[in-house]
Structure 1
Amino acid sequence: MKRLNAYIDKAFEDIPNSEQTERVKEEILRDLEEKVADLIEEEGKSQEDAINKVIVEFGDINEIKQELDLPENSTRKKQEMARLNLGFSMWGSLLVIALSVFVNFYYTPHVIWFIYPTFAIAWWPLSMFYNWYRKKVEDKS
Structure 2
Amino acid sequence: MKKIQHHVDRLFRDLPETEEVIQVKEEIILDLQEKAQDLIIQGKTEEDAINKTIVDFGDIDEIKAELQQTPVQSSHTKKKHTRLNLWFSVWGSGLFIALMWFMNIEYTPNNIWFVYPTFVILWWPLSMYYYWRRQGGGK
Q: TM-score when scaled to structure 1? A: 0.48
